[in-house]
Structure 1
Amino acid sequence: MPTKSPAETLLEKANKKASSSAGWFSSSSSKFEEAGDLFQQAANSFKIDKLFREAGDAFSREAECREKCKEANEASNAWWNAAKAYKRGYPDLAIQALTQTITLLTQSGRFRQAADREKEVAQIYRQELSDIRKACESLVRAGDWYAQEDATATANACFKDAADIHAELEEYPQAIARYEQVADHSLTSALTKYSVKEYWLRASLCALAMKDTITAKRNMTKYSSQDTTFSSTREAKFIKGLIDAIESGDHEMFTGTVVEFDQVVKLDNWKTAILLKIKRGIQDEPGIL
C-alpha cells in the first residue's frame, strides 16, 4: 500500500474534521474553523508538490468552511488562492473560483478589489479560453467598478480594451461609443489629454470599417470641436486621407496613405487588421465608396 503524502494526510484530517459532529463543548463554527485551517495547510502542501488541481480543490473546501463561519474576508481570500492554483492549467475552474471571490467582495463593498479580480477573469477568457466576448463583458464590469471607486485611469484602460474587442467582433457602434467615452475622460486631465487622438483614430477607423464615411466625417468635425489641436495632428490627417481614398475608390491612394502613416507611427496588429477590412470594403464596392 503506497504511503500517503503529507498533503493527502492533511486533506484526510480536514475532511474528517469537517464531517465530524460538534461535541458538547465545541460549536460547529469552531469545527469549521479548524477544518478550514487544515484544508489550507493541505492546499499549500499540494502546491509544494506542484499538484495544482488538488491545491485548488483544497482551497475551495477551505473557502466553504470560512463561509460557514461567516468569515467573508477569509473566504474571499481562500477562493482567490483556489483561483491562483487553478490558473495553472484549469482555466474554467479558476473563473468559477474568481466569481465566488467577486461575489463576496461586492457584498462587503470592496469594489476596487472586485474589479481587480474581474480583470483577471477577463484575462483568462481572452488568453486561455479565447472567448473574447466574455472577456469584453468582464472588462466593462471591471471598468464600471473602477470608475465608481474613482480609479479613472484603470477604468479607462478596461474600457479601451473592451472597445478593441468590440471592434474585433465587428460591433463597431459599441466600439465607437467606448472609445469616445475614454476620450471624453482623457480630455479632463492634462496628463491624459495626449492620448485622445489615439482613441479618436480608433473610433474613426471603426466608422470606416462600417463603410460609413459620412459618420466618420461628422465625428471628425465633432472631435475637432472638442479639441481644437486635433485637426492638425498626424492622426486626423491620416483619417482624412483614408476618407478621400475610399470616396474616390482609389486603392493605390489608400495603400499609399497607410504606408506613409506607418513609416512615422508604427501600426499595431489591431490597426493593421481593421485597415485590411476597410481596404477589402473598397474592393467589394469599387466606385460606390
Structure 2
Amino acid sequence: MPSKSPAQILLEKADKKANSSGGWFSSATAKYEEAGDLYQQAANSFKLEKLFKEAGDCFAREAECRENCKETNEAANAWWNAAKAYKRGFPNLAIQALTHTIIHLTKSGRFRQAADREKEIGQIHIQEAQDIRKACESFERAGDWYAQEDATATANACYKDAADLHAEIDEFPQAIARYEQVADHSLTSALTKYSVKEYWLKAGLCALAMNDPVSARRSMQKYCTQDATFPSTREAKFVNALIDAVQAGDPEAFTGAVVEFDQITKLDNWKTNILLKVKRGIQDEPGLT
C-alpha cells in the first residue's frame, strides 16, 4: 500500500476536525478555525507537490470554514488562494472561486480589491474560456468599481479593453460609446490628452465597420470641435481618407490610405481586422456614391 503524502495526511486531519462533533467545552467556531488552519496547511502542501486542483479544493474548504466562523476577510483571502491554484488548468473553477472572493469583498466595501479580482475573471474569460462577451461584462463591472474608488486611470484602462472586445464581436455601437467615454475623460488631463487621438481613431473605424460613413464623418467633426489639435493629426487624416474612400466606393483609395498610414505607424491586429471588415463592406456594395 503506497504511503500517504504529507498533504494527504493533513487533509485527512482537516476533514476529521471539520466533521467532528465539538466536545462539551469546545465551541463550533474553534472547531472550524482549527479545521480551516489544517486545510490551509494541506493546500500549501499540495502546492509543493504541484497538485493544483487538490490545492484549490483545500483552499475552498478552508474558505467554507472561515465563512462558518464569520471571518469575511479570511474567507475572501482563502477563495482567492483557491482561484490562484485553480488557474493552473481549471479556469472554470478559478472563475467560481474569484466570484466567491468578490462577494465577500463587496460586502465589506472593498471595491478596489473586488475590481482587481473582477478584472482577473475577464482575463480568464479571454485566455482560457474564449468567452469575449463575458470578458466585456467583467471589464465593465471592474471599470465601474474602480471609478467609484477614484482609480480613474485603471477604470479607463478597463473600459478601453471592454471597447476593444465589443468591436471584436461586432458590437460597434457599444464599442464607440466606451471609446468616447474614455476619450472625454482623457481630455481632462494634460497627462492623458495625447491618447485621445487613438480612441477617436478606433471609434471612427467602428463607425465605418457598421457601414455608416455618414455618422463616421459626423463623429469626426464632433471630435475636431472637442480638441482643436485633432484635425492635424495623422489619425484624423487617416479616418477622413477612409471615409472618402468608403463613400466613393473605391477599394483602391481605401487600400492606399491604409498602406500609407501603416508605413509610419504599424497597424496592430485589432485595427487590421476592423479594416478588413470595412474593406469587405466596400467590395460587397459597389458604387456607394
The bucket for the TM-score relative to the shorter chain is over 0.9
Residues in 2 aligned to 1:129 and 1:151: alpha-carbon distance in whole angstroms:
28
Structure 1 residue aligned with 2:15: 15
Secondary structure of the structure 2 residue equivalent to 1:128: helix
Per-residue CA shift, 1:102-146, capped at 9, x if unaligned? Answer: 000000000000000000000000001101111010000000000
Structure 1 residue aligned with 2:125: 125
Q: What is the identity percentage for the equivalent residue pairs of Structure 1 and Structure 2?
A: 77
Question: Comparing 199-208 with 243-252, which one deviates more in the overlay?
Answer: 243-252
Residues in 2 aligned to 1:228 and 1:114: alpha-carbon distance in whole angstroms:
39
Q: Letter of the aligned partner of 2:147 in structure 1?
A: A
Structure 1 residue aligned with 2:196: 196
Structure 1 residue aligned with 2:214: 214
Residues in 1 aligned to 2:251 and 2:66: alpha-carbon distance in whole angstroms:
64
Structure 2 residue aligned with 1:32: 32
| 2:69 maps to 1:75 | no
Residues in 1 aligned to 2:171 and 2:63: alpha-carbon distance in whole angstroms:
39
Residues in 1 aligned to 2:219 and 2:252: alpha-carbon distance in whole angstroms:
25
Q: Unaligned stretches of 5+ in structure 1?
A: none
Q: Letter of the aligned partner of 1:134 in structure 2?
A: K
Residues in 2 aligned to 1:276 and 1:149: alpha-carbon distance in whole angstroms:
39
**Superposition TM-score, scaled by structure 1 size:** 0.99
Per-residue CA shift, 1:26-72, capped at 9, x if unaligned? Answer: 11000000000000000000000000000000000000000000000
Q: Letter of the aligned partner of 1:11 in structure 2?
A: L
Residues in 1 aligned to 2:246 and 2:124: alpha-carbon distance in whole angstroms:
38
Counterpart mapping for 1:261-280 below 5 A:
261-280=261-280
Question: Comparing 55-64 with 247-256, which one deviates more in the overlay?
Answer: 247-256
Secondary structure of the structure 1 residue equivalent to 2:129: coil
Structure 1 residue aligned with 2:137: 137
Per-residue CA shift, 1:255-287, capped at 9, x if unaligned? Answer: 000000001111000000000000000000010
For residue 247 of structure 1, report the CA deviation from its aligned partner. Answer: 1.0
Counterpart mapping for 1:47-196 below 5 A:
47-196=47-196
| RMSD value, Cα | 0.6
For residue 166 of structure 1, report the CA deviation from its aligned partner. Answer: 0.6
Per-residue CA shift, 1:180-223, capped at 9, x if unaligned? Answer: 00001101110000000000000000000011011001101110
**Superposition TM-score, scaled by structure 2 size:** 0.99
For residue 288 of structure 1, report the CA deviation from its aligned partner. Answer: 2.0
Q: Letter of the aligned partner of 1:110 in structure 2?
A: R
For residue 249 of structure 1, report the CA deviation from its aligned partner. Answer: 1.0
Q: Which runs of 4+ in 1 moved over 6 A?
A: none
Q: How many residues are matched? A: 289
